[in-house]
């Protein structure tokens, strides 16, 4: 499996990132290096190895269903890029019909 500049475009778009052509070239080759490194793992027999979702062996960490103090709206909105009354504002994200 190898990464093409088109794959880089796709992933960049999903991550809301934009790159110059030079950066794309570099990333393509870097990602390919990482993939080929990971490729080595395919040489191992993992037939009887449980998939690992976490490196720490903890489970069932819960919170009781009890309220804890949060932030006042003013504090929550302090770093907002845009504000109208107590709402965050963003450019319109739905097309008008």
Partner 1 sequence: MLTATKAFCGCPNRFGDAPNSNVCPVCLGLPGTLPVLNRNLVEYIMRMGLATGCRITPRSILARKNYFYPDLPKGYQISQYEEPICVDGNLEIELEGGAKTTVRIKRIHMEEDAGKLIHDQGPQTLVDLNRCGTPLIEIVTEPDLRSPREAYHALILIRQMVTYLGICDGNMEEGSLRCDANVSIRLRGETALGTKTEVKNMNSFRNVERALEFEIQRQTDLVSSGGRVVQETLLWDADAGCAYPMRSKEEAHDYRYFPDPDLVPVLVDQAWERSVRDALPELPVPRRDRYERAFGLPRYDADVLTAERPVADYFEQTLTALQTLRPGDGAALAKPVSNWVMTDVLRVVAEEKVDVASFPIAPVRLAAMIGLILDGTISGKIAKDVFEAMLTSPAEPKAIVQERGLVQVSDGGAIAAIVEEVLTAHAAQVQQYLGGNERVFGFFVGETMKRMQGKGNPTMVNAVLKVRLAARKG
Among residues 43 and 57, whose Cβ is nearest to partner 1?
57
Cβ-based nearer residue to partner 1, 32 or 77: 77
Tokens at 20, concatenated: 């110059």
Please give the backbone phi and psi of residue 93, each rounded to the nearest 5 degrees, phi first.
-105, 10
On whether the CB atoms of residues 37 and 30 are closer than 8 A, the answer is no
Residue among 9, 54, 53, 55 at smallest CA distance from 31: 9
Structure tokens at 84: 């109208």
How many residues are recorded in the chain? Answer: 97
Q: Which is nearer to partner 1, 22 or 63 (CB)?
A: 63
Q: How far is the CB of 82 from partner 1 (least distance, A)?
A: 7
Compute the least distance from the CB of residue 14 to partner 1, in Å: 6
In the complex, minimum distance from the CB of residue 10 to partner 1, in angstroms, rounded to a whole number? 8
Binding site for partner 1 (CB under 8 A): 10, 13-14, 16, 53-54, 56, 58-73, 76-77, 82, 84-95, 97
């Amino acid at each position: 499996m190898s990464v093409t500049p088109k794959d880089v475009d796709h992933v960049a778009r999903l991550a809301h990132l934009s790159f110059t052509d030079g950066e794309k070239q570099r990333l393509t080759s870097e990602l390919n290096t990482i993939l080929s490194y990971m490729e080595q793992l395919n040489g191992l027999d993992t037939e009887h190895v449980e998939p690992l979702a976490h490196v720490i062996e903890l489970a069932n960490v819960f919170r009781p269903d009890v309220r804890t103090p949060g932030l006042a709206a003013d504090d929550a909105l302090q770093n907002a890029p845009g504000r109208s009354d107590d709402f965050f504002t963003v450019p319109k994200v739905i097309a008008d019909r």
